[in-house]
Structure 1
Amino acid sequence: MDAQFPLIRKRRFYLKKNAFIVNANGLTLTFAIAFAVIAVTKTPVNLLTFLFYFLTKIICILKICRKTIKVLKLYYLLLTQYKRFVQ
């Protein structure tokens, strides 16, 4: 299947690489926000852990949505190529 559709194989590698970059950026963003909150407001630790948990959950949900959209685009591309091949 990869031999017939080389474009899809390249996109799959790009998805894996992009997901790693998004994950690293999300973690650094959460740490930066958590340290900023510690420095400015000097809030208790339990509130900070809640904030950190909430931010990581939001980032995970956003990553899942992005991956789902990319996978749907991939399937659409595969379907259109198959339709062209059949007709």
Structure 2
Amino acid sequence: MLAARPALARPRRDHDHDRARAALERGEALPLAEVLARVRPELGGEVVGVDFDRDDGRWIYEFKVIGPAGRLVEVHVDAATARVLRRRAD
């Protein structure tokens, strides 16, 4: 039972990486570097974090972006098409 605990305690970013790699291998997502290259001009600031989640049946890259005024914005991008889906300010 104790041997299973480290796997449960893995950081979220490792889990995101595993899911992203599997989605990439299945052709369900583009590589993060390619998506960033396509959407960087639309992000409007510096990327300070990335999550990879499933939403409404599709894979989404969630970029945490600090804008020029220092405000944190979350930008959701379709992982298969690199299309910006929505922006949400915190």
TM-score range, shorter chain: under 0.3
Q: Select the structure with the greater relative contact order (CA < 8 A; seq sep ≥ 6).
A: 1
Larger Rg: 1
